[in-house]
């Protein structure tokens, strides 16, 4: 086990005299209505420090997207020919004129180049500033905002301005109007005591899964283990062969870390061959790795135990990224960011070598993220896909609702001040460059009632979804949920996996836990095994998965045709034959998929 600490501390820019010369006129760049459930506590302290992240335009991004489409299409001659780090950086690099214009603007406010941190491609410039200076530069006021439901506190503004001459050189600046928070899916974990052992019932006590040819221990209907998932998804006999070249990773936020002692108990219970093995930990921007048993994170324990248990002995890494804003409006706390995706992306894109599969079980309502910011972050995910990385995200745990696991308390209203009733998709799951994983339950499998799904309001439906999603929409009775969802949007989820009654070890004891937080790392582990088979055969990793998944049109997946995921006072959508916005194409049949991916 190795632990790496990466403290990317940026230079704190003190108050400085503005360079001589007449000030430029500012023009309004963005203005939003105060989001629902956030209350204004007053002006932010002038000396409170915020990290301003300035996004420069990426004039060749469409070229990157074209490359990604070709290398991810299994029918294209370039399939699997992933781009290098240098190739990707060249495709997202800004024009030199934009770089010069931004640094001239910063210099006019006394901020020198050496005080700035630039991303590997130079498309992001980050500088830490006191609130008073940021307000002057952006012509705005930063306020302290508190979330009425969970008490989170952020320093944000509802508008900002820039000199007009920077319009073509700056795409966006955050954190300004972004009120999104990285939340663990199914934040109210359904803990329940688990049996003292996970021993399966007798070999005669099996469930035959119709149409798949597999049998599963009957105990798996009430307790999900590594063995259950390998049986159910037809991977019992697979032995990884390319463990020197293949890898899997999990991301953790909000002070979450995985406990080594819990993992060993899990291995004793479910994966005896893995006893005394561990995983690497990478700490980013103040991420934690406190191994005190009582401080272990349920989300992190779940992710690591099942992802590594299924894919063992594939090497694993846990990225722990700081960024929760424990802001006290009475003090000048210097840690208010809560944009951990950017912190993580800034780090991971700078690495010459990246694990081929990465699972994330965090997200928020799409509408809490400014659309320009969501699209920019989504574009960062595309960069990883172009480098051969498969990104999986939990689809959410609120059905078609706002992520609140209790349908009775969901508030399905728009966040734009109009308070319209709408279904609420999740982000980053709604980004077309990631694979969204929904949830199932029981054997035979049915859709679990909290499986997040629906249609993005930010991202149009990609061409590779047209056939499958178009067929689903055509099957809906005319007028179904008219006005509640965007039928032209990117549809989620793409696939699904078991999502409840997972037996993990948490803080020294066995418990059951559920959520799409469980399905994403589990399905990621099976993708890692598919990569293993390809790499062992001399082929590249699968990379961006969605064009392949939709090209297969359900082949290699167990179609889930029963169940629904309600929300917003409606029954939500139903699981049906083919793709549906509850379970996607269904759950993987590893044996069939292995044979398929070895042909490309």
* 3-class secondary structure, 571: strand
User: Token digits for 44?
Assistant: 């932010």
Spatial distance between the Cα atoms of 88 and 382, rounded to a whole number of angstroms: 10
Residue of 349, 337, 3, 388 whose CA lies nearest to 153? 337
User: Token digits for 19?
Assistant: 């360079």
Nearest-Å Rg of the Cα atoms of the chain is: 24
Token look-up 């549906």 returns 580
Spatial distance between the Cα atoms of 411 and 261, rounded to a whole number of angstroms: 40
Residue of 580, 550, 500, 417 whose CA lies nearest to 190? 500
Contact 498, 519 (CB under 8 A): yes
Cβ within 8 Å of residue 529, ≥6 positions away: 235, 238, 240, 310, 311, 314, 590, 594
Known catalytic membership, residue 114: no
Spatial distance between the Cα atoms of 489 and 430, rounded to a whole number of angstroms: 9
Q: How many CB atoms lie within 10 A of CB 34?
A: 15
**DSSP states along 266-313:** HHHHH-GGGTT---EEEEESS------GGG--HHHHHHHHHHHHHHTT
CB-count exposure of residue 1 (10 Å: 0-12, 13-18, 19+) = exposed
Contact 368, 350 (CB under 8 A): no
Phi-psi region of 538 (alpha: psi -120 to 50; beta: other; left: phi over 0): left
Helix axes 371-386, 340-348, angle to 10 degrees: 30
The number of helix segments (H) and strand segments (E) in the chain equals: 13, 32
Beta-sheet pairing, 390-394 with 435-441? parallel
Q: Is 596 annotated as a binding residue?
A: no
Contact 346, 283 (CB under 8 A): no
Catalytic residue among 123, 152, 255, 299: 299
Spatial distance between the Cα atoms of 247 and 313, rounded to a whole number of angstroms: 10
Cβ within 8 Å of residue 369, ≥6 positions away: 178, 180, 377, 427, 458
Q: Is 559 annotated as a binding residue?
A: yes
Beta strands in 348-401 (DSSP E): 357-360, 362-365, 390-394
Spatial distance between the Cα atoms of 518 and 515, rounded to a whole number of angstroms: 6
Catalytic residue among 517, 519, 520, 541: 517
Spatial distance between the Cα atoms of 498 and 233, rounded to a whole number of angstroms: 10
Helix axes 61-72, 371-386, angle to 10 degrees: 50
Known catalytic membership, residue 123: no
Known catalytic membership, residue 244: no
Contact 131, 44 (CB under 8 A): yes
Spatial distance between the Cα atoms of 466 and 351, rounded to a whole number of angstroms: 35
Catalytic residue among 217, 262, 269, 303: 303
Contact 52, 173 (CB under 8 A): yes
Q: Is 248 annotated as a binding residue?
A: no
Q: Is 578 annotated as a binding residue?
A: yes
Annotated binding residues: 559-560, 578, 580
Catalytic residues: 299, 303, 517
Q: Annotated binding site for Ca(2+): which residue ranges?
A: 559-560, 578, 580
């Amino acid at each position: 086990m190795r632990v790496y600490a990466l403290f990317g501390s940026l230079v704190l820019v003190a108050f400085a005299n503005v360079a001589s010369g007449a000030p430029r006129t500012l023009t309004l760049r963005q203005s939003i209505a105060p989001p629902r459930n956030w209350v204004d506590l007053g002006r932010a302290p002038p000396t409170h420090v915020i990290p301003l992240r300035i996004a420069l335009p990426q004039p060749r991004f469409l070229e990157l997207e074209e490359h990604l489409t070709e290398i991810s299409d299994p029918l294209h001659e370039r399939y699997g020919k992933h781009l290098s780090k240098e190739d990707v950086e060249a495709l997202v690099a800004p024009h030199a004129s934009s770089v010069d214009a931004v640094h001239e603007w910063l210099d006019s406010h006394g901020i020198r180049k050496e005080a700035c941190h630039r991303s590997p491609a130079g498309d992001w410039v980050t500088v830490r500033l006191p609130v008073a200076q940021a307000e002057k530069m952006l012509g705005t006021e930063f306020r302290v905002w508190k979330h009425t439901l969970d008490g989170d506190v952020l320093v944000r503004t509802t508008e900002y301005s820039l000199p007009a001459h920077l319009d073509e050189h700056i795409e966006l600046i955050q954190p300004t109007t972004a009120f999104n928070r990285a939340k663990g899916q199914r934040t109210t974990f359904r803990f329940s005591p688990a049996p003292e052992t996970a021993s399966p019932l007798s070999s005669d006590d099996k469930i035959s899964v119709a149409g798949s040819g597999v049998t599963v221990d009957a105990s798996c209907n009430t307790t999900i283990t590594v063995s259950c998932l390998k049986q159910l998804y037809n991977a019992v006999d697979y032995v990884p062969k390319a463990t020197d070249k293949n890898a899997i990773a999990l991301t953790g936020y909000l002070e979450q870390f995985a406990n080594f002692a819990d993992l060993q108990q899990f291995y004793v219970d479910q994966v005896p061959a893995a006893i005394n093995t561990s995983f690497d930990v990478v700490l980013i921007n103040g991420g934690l790795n406190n191994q005190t048993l009582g401080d272990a994170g349920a989300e992190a324990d779940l992710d690591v135990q099942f992802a590594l248990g299924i894919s063992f002995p594939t090497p694993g890494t846990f990225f722990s990224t700081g960024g929760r804003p424990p802001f006290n409006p009475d003090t000048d706390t210097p840690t208010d960011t809560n944009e951990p995706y950017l912190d993580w992306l800034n780090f991971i894109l700078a690495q010459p070598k990246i694990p081929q599969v990465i699972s994330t079980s965090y997200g928020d309502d799409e509408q809490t993220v400014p659309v320009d910011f969501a699209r920019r972050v989504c574009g960062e995910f595309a960069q990883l896909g172009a480098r051969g990385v498969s990104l999986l995200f939990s689809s959410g745990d609120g059905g078609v609702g706002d992520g609140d696991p209790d349908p009775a308390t969901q508030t399905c209203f728009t966040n734009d001040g109009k308070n319209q009733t709408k279904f609420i998709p999740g982000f980053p799951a709604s980004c077309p460059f990631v694979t969204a994983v929904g949830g199932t339950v029981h054997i035979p499998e049915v859709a679990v009632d909290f499986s997040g799904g629906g249609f993005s309001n930010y991202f149009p439906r990609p061409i590779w979804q047209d056939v499958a999603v178009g067929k689903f929409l055509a099957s809906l009775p005319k007028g179904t949920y008219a006005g509640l969802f965007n039928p032209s949007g990117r549809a989620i989820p793409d696939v699904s996996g078991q999502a409840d009654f997972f037996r993990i070890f948490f803080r020294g004891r066995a418990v059951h836990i559920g959520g799409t937080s469980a399905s994403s790392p589990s399905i990621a582990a099976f993708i890692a095994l598919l990569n293993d088979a390809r790499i062992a055969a001399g082929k590249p990793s699968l990379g961006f998965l969605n064009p392949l998944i939709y090209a297969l049109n359900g082949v290699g997946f167990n179609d889930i045709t029963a169940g629904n995921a309600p929300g917003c006072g409606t029954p939500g959508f139903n699981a049906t034959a083919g793709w549906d916005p509850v379970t996607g194409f269904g759950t993987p049949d590893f044996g069939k998929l292995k044979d398929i991916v070895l042909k490309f």
